[in-house]
A and B are shown apart, each in its own frame.
Chain A
Amino acid sequence: MSTIGSSSTTTTASVRATLAGGRRGDLPGTVFQVLLLGSLLFSLAVLAILVADVLGRAIPVFAERGLGFLTSPLSSNPAKAGVGQGIIGTAVLGGIVALLAFPFGLMTAVYLEEYAGDTKITRFIQINIRNLAGVPSVVYGLLGLSVFVAFMSAIGDTGSGRNIIAGGMTLAVLVLPIVIITAIEALRAVPNTIREAGYGVGASRWEVTRMLVLPSAAPGILTGTVLALSRALGETAPLILAGAVLGSFSGLNLSTLFSGSYTALPVIVYDWSRKPGDAFRADAAAAIVVLLVITLVANGIAILLRNRYERAW
């Protein structure tokens, strides 16, 4: 290779020979590339086996029961048991989580990023929020039990406080750090030149935040929130601690929605998969499919909204 530099010996033939020679024997590079591809295929294979296994068990249930599986209440008879109460419970939980985690998370992030300034205290707080995002979810379940359930009980809930609002609050606290972190990242991604431009024409901090920074960060914030939401909807342990019902209970109508017993799809999956017999296993697989579809729809909405916001500029 070094001969290329010495011009006296450079001829078309010698250059061509050098270039064509290339690095034919790049064994480590080839091995590395194969490893990368192998990792990808392995991950995909695990996922495919998982989905195929679940679908294989679930499809017969859907074929046999049809929409009845989606609307039936819980039951000790696997042939009658359905996820109707779970779907409603999961939907309501999702609503409560969104209503609580999104505004608190967003406002916390805006304060930390746009108002508070970079001090030792805010850095300390940010590190702690990041740590909180990594705390096992069962710990949040204990928090839900000792704080929110107790609170609901104290304000007169007849079911000893183990209601869906306490469960939703528990999940909201669980994903709050994730919402805050993703919102902070989205706000940080907004170039400072945009803020300067706003201040430069006499905008106040509030105007810069509301009219320039938040619209620019909205796609990222939105995506982060929905991803956090789908994480919340998949959680089992905190809900069991915070009072979601295992087994079956009767009724779930609007009058008792916020005070009565409740359950959610992942709790149902957990409950059914512990039960003996293949019939409940198949039901659990079908419930997993329902949960996956709900999560996929939520993520799809997030992507749609994000694309729309990005085009609106």
Chain B
Amino acid sequence: MPDQTGDPMTMTAPPTGAPAPDVDAPDDTAHTPGPQTAPVTASARGEDVIRIENLSFYYSAFRAVKDVSIAIEKNQITALIGPSGCGKSTLLRTINRMNDLIPGTRVEGQVLYHGVDLYAKDVDAVEVRRRIGMVFQKANPFPKSIYDNVAFGPRINGYKGNMDELVEESLQRAALWGDVKDKLKQSGLALSGGQQQRLCIARAIATNPDVILMDEPCSALDPRSTLQIEELMFELKAQYTIVIVTHNMQQAARASDYTVFLNMADDRAGYVVEEGPTLGIFTNPKSKLTEDYVSGRFG
């Protein structure tokens, strides 16, 4: 454990103070879902699509994430960085309830999506995942054709429109259409690694989500494909809100607008050390720990 100069539990509040301090979460239940109900009126900061409040996550008795409160701003790219095992992937997967699939896991606290707690009893995890899509660390196309990969989500969600158009549009947005337009019937597994990952992004886009979660999407890709994905993320953020977990600090610095730095405490639980606009985190970190991490001295 590196020396900690700052108190890890002190949240460096973002400009708006959007993530409410621990005790009083003044108006989180009052918001109705909808794009125009901005929760906090702030000068520098837009609407928060997701607000995570006092979230702790447990694998059986082991607490992997403790007391995290962060906000994810609309149409921005938020990067979760931190050393291995600090719980950033776990945190990401709580946002679309992917961890529900692992037996023996438990969540404390709230994940508010447009003000609605995703862990409330009447919330259907399947519906959550349709609105909050996901791209995984290892590209995982279905063993189906390129077309069927993209059409899978819309089909199961009962999409009634023109499927051909939707597939084309999704592939275009994922910057893959030019590569595959003549071989839509070929297996998605026949594509290169970078193309497969863009196919997975197209597949996530096709269900028309609001938020796209990316769990180290470039960790298995070469630098060129990585750059393509980053450019793609930059284009996608006009329409979607993106949360990305990355090991690669250059990637966070290059591609994200807002950065959350997590670290592992002595009990191996992940906590937020510092968060803020990416530029500030990388050029003028408040915590010594952050400075050590972003400058590559540990992690």
Contact = CB atoms under 8 A, between A and B. Distances in A.
Interface of A: 117-119, 191, 193-204, 207, 211-212, 215-216, 313
Nearest to B96: A200
A216 B98 contact: no
B126 A193 contact: no
A202 B127 contact: yes
Nearest to A204: B126
A29 B144 CA distance: 46
Contacts of A191: 140
A208 to B, nearest CB: 9
A130 B103 CA distance: 24
17 contacts: A117-B103, A193-B136, A194-B143, A195-B101, A196-B101, A197-B141, A198-B142, A200-B98, A200-B133, A200-B134, A201-B206, A202-B126, A202-B127, A202-B131, A202-B157, A203-B153, A313-B143
Contacts, number: 71
B203 interface: yes
A196 B127 contact: no
Given A118-B103, A194-B140, A313-B144, 8 more contacts: A117-B103, A199-B126, A201-B133, A201-B152, A201-B206, A202-B153, A202-B156, A203-B153
Nearest to A193: B140
B207 interface: yes
Interface of B: 96, 98, 101, 103, 126-127, 129-131, 133-136, 138, 140-144, 152-153, 156-157, 187, 189, 200, 203-204, 206-207
Contacts of B142: 194, 197-198, 212
A196 B133 contact: no
A203 to B, nearest CB: 5
6 closest pairs, A vs B, by CB?
A202-B130, A201-B153, A193-B140, A200-B134, A313-B143, A197-B140
Contacts of B206: 201
Nearest to A310: B143
Contacts of B129: 199-202
A64 to B, nearest CB: 53
A197 B136 contact: yes
A202 B126 CA distance: 5
Given A211-B152, A313-B187, A201 B207 contact: yes
A305 to B, nearest CB: 17
Contacts of A204: 126, 156
A203 B126 contact: yes
Contacts of B157: 202
A203 B152 CA distance: 9
A313 B167 CA distance: 19
A202 B131 CA distance: 8
Contacts of B200: 197
Nearest to A216: B143
B205 to A, nearest CB: 10
A194 B136 CA distance: 11
B98 A203 contact: no
B203 A201 contact: yes
B185 to A, nearest CB: 12
Determine which residue in B152, B187, B200, B204 has the highest number of CB atoms from chain A within 10 A of its CB, and name it.
Answer: B152
B257 to A, nearest CB: 24
A216 B134 CA distance: 22
B130 A201 contact: yes
Given A118-B103, A216-B143, A313-B187, A200 B152 contact: no
B101 A199 contact: yes
Given A200-B96, A200-B129, A201-B133, A193 B138 contact: yes
B134 A203 contact: no
A199 B98 contact: yes
B57 to A, nearest CB: 17
Contacts of A117: 103
Contacts of A216: 143
A202 B101 contact: no
B187 to A, nearest CB: 6
B267 to A, nearest CB: 26
A204 B204 CA distance: 16
A194 B143 CA distance: 8
Contacts of B187: 313
Contacts of B138: 193
A203 B136 contact: no
Contacts of B126: 199, 202-204
B169 to A, nearest CB: 16
A196 B187 CA distance: 19
B256 to A, nearest CB: 21
